[in-house]
Amino acid sequence: MLTPALSGKALLAIGLISAWLLQKAFIGFFNLFFHPLATFPGPRVAAFTSWYKTYQEVFLGKSWIDVLQELHKQYGKIVRVGPNELHFSDPEAYHEIYNNSNRWDKEAKLYQSFGEDRSSFGFLTYAESKQRKDIMTPLFSRRAIFELQSLVQSNLDRLCEVLTANNSAGKSSDLFFGLRCFTMDTITTFCFAKSVNALAEPDFKAPIIEAMEASLPAFVLFKHFSLIRKTVFGMPPWLSVITSPQTAGLIHLQQLLGAQVNEVVKNPEVLQDSPHRIIYHELLSPKASKGAPLPSAGSLYEEAQALMFGGGDTVGNTLMLGTFHLLGSPLLVQRLKKELKAAWPILEDPPKLEELEKLPFLTAVIKESLRISPGVASPLLRVVPATGATISGSTIPADASMSGSFVHNSPEVFKNHKKFDPDRWLQPDSASLERWLVAFSKGPRMCMGQNLANCEMYLGFASLFRRFDLKLDGTSVDDLTWRECFLPYFQGRHLQAFCKPVEKLTLLELSYDFEKESQIPQIELLGDTDKTYMAPLVMPFTISFSSSAINPKLQIRPLSHVIHSQLGLPRPSTISEQAAGSALGRTQVGAGGGVVVVAAAEATVEVVAVEVAGKSYLNAPFVSAPPPFLAKAVGEDWGGATGEAEISNSKNTTQFRLVTADFGTQSVN
C-alpha cells in the first residue's frame, strides 16, 4: 500500500501526464475538424499530429519524398501532410510558391536543423537573407567565375592525374567520391583560399567526404528531435570524435574553419595575403555591408559551413549521375566526344568556359543531368504570409507551411521523364522547358553559387569525356538508390569506372619544298631526341628524296609535345574525324611547295587531312608529292567541297595543309 507522500507524488505525476495527453488530444481534435487546413485531403493521422512524419522517417526509415509520392497518388495534387503543412505536386504550383514576387519566410523547424541559423541559407526571413546575399553575390558573379576558372581547371587536372594513375595500376576509380573530392577542393579553395586536399587521399577516401556522407542520416534525427541536435552541436570537439568516429573528418574541418574565422576576425589584415578574394573579404567589408553591423564570428563560421555543404555535395552528385547515365548509352558518349574533340583538338590546351558554354550537346547533357539529379532532395518549406495565398487554384490560409517538388519528374512537363535524354533540350520547342529546370530553385532564395556550379559541370564533363574512355565497372541503377536526408544519401555501391586516357598525339606543322613530282620525301628529325619541344620553338629536320638527296632550309614547329624517332608518312588508318582547324592558321606558299600538319605517335607520322587547292580532305595518304589520292572533302570553311573527290592533276596540288588530327577511338595506358 502506498504511503500518503508517495501517493501524492504518484497522483501528481498521473495528473500531469493526463493533462498533457488531454491537451494533445484537444489539439489533435482541433486539427482534425477546426484547423484552417481541415478541408484539405490527406491521412487523418497526419492532420492529427506531426508525429506522422516522424514515424515515417525515423521509425520506418522511409524517404519523405517517397512517402509524398504515394500520398499524391492516393489523395491528389494537394495533400495535407501535417497539421499545418501542405504539399503540392502540380508543377505550376512550384512557380506560384518560389518566385521573385513572393518574399515568404522559410519554415523554422526544417531550416534550424542544420545549425546554420545565421547564414544566407539558414536565415528565415527574406530581409536577412537578402542583406547577406547582396554582400556575397559579387563573389559568385559570372565575371568572378570566369576570372577564377583556372582554379576549377587545376583541381580537375589533379583529379585526372589520379584517374590516370588508377588506370595504370589496372584498377577502376570511385567516381562517386572522386567527383565529390573535386568539388570539395574547389569550393574550399574558392571560398577560403585553403583546399582540404581531398583529392590527395588514397582512393578518394578523404575523411571530410566520408564524414559528410556519414552525417547525412543524422539530419533526420536533428529535424525531429531538437534536443538531440542541441546536445550534439553543444559537445566539445574531442567528445564528438569519440562518440562518432565516422564523422571525425567533419569535426576536424569545422575546427579548421573556426580557426580561420577567428584569425580573420582578430586580424583582418591577413586577408591581404590571400591569392584571390574570398568570402571574408566581402563579409567583413564595411562598404559591402552598407552601414549594417558586420557578421559575428559565429555567423561567419555558419556561412562557411553552409557554403561547404552546399558546394561540396550537390555538384559532385550531378556530375556522378550524369556520367553514369551517359555510360549507359554509347551513342550519347560518341556524340559528346565528337563535339568535344572539335572544340578541344589538343589535349594539352583545354578550352575556356566561354568556349564550352557554346557547345549545344554538352549544354544539353548538363541540363539533363541537373534534371535527373535529386540535388536538394527535400521539399523546401515556405510559410504563407498574413495575406494568405492562392496556390493551384486553392486559397491557402496565413501561417500554413507548404512546398512543391516533383517538377523534374513530372510526366506533364517532361515526356519519358524517367529516361536520361539530352535531346529533349535540343528540340525546336525546347525553350519552353527552361522554365521547368529548377535545380537551383527560383525566386529570391535561389542558389547564389549557380555560376560556380555551372563552371564545374562544363569543365568537369568536358575533362572526363575528352581525356578518358570510360567504362562502368559493375555499377548498376540499383546501386544508385538514395534516401532523402535533405540531401540524397546514396546507400548502394559507389559508381566505379575504368578511366582509360585517350592517346595524346603530337601535332607538327611541317613546311617543305619539293623539286620533282615523283620524289617521295622521308623526314628525319635532328637535335636532342630526349627533349620536349613546345610551340613556338622550332626544330630542324632534313628531307631526302628517292631520286636524289637534298638538304633544303626547313622547319618543324611542334604544337604540343614531340615523340622523336625516324618518322615516315604512312597511310592513316585510325583517323575518326576532323575538327575545325582554323586555329592553326594558314601558311601561303608558292607553286611547288606546301604546308602539312602531321600527327606523330608511337614513332609514326600520320597525315590526317590535307588542304589541296583550297579544299580540305580527310584520310589522305601522303605518298608522293603531289600524290594521286581519293579522299573525303570536308568542311564548308575549306572551299565548300562535299562528298568524295579524286585529286590527280599535279598542277592543282600546289598547296598542302593538314588541318587537324584526331585519334579519338584509340587509347593508351
Which parts are annotated binding residues for heme? 447
C-alpha cell at 289: 555591408
φ, ψ of residue 566 in degrees (nearest 5): -65, 120
Provide the phi-psi class of 640: left if phi over 0, else alpha when psi is between -120 and 50, else beta. left
Residues making up the binding site? 447
What is the rounded CA–CA span in Å between residue 146 and residue 143? 5
Which amino acid, 547?
A: S
DSSP result, 14-76: HHHHHHHHHHHHHHHHHHHHTSTTTTS-S-HHHHH-THHHHIIIIIS---HHHHHHHHHHHH-
Q: Which residues of 54-90 are buried (b: 16+ CB within 10 A; e: fewer)?
A: bebbeeeeebbbebbeebbeebebbbbbbbbbbbbbb
294-301 long-range contacts, CB within 8 A, separation 24+: 295/118, 295/132, 296/118, 297/261, 297/262, 297/265, 298/118, 299/118, 299/119, 300/261, 300/264, 300/265, 301/254, 301/257, 301/258, 301/261
Interatomic CA distance for residues 371 and 346, integer angstroms = 31
Strands 85-88 and 401-404: parallel
Question: With 0-12 CB in 10 A as exposed, 13-18 as middle and 19+ as buried, what is 414?
Answer: buried
Q: Is 417 helix (H, G, I), strand (E, B) or coil?
A: coil
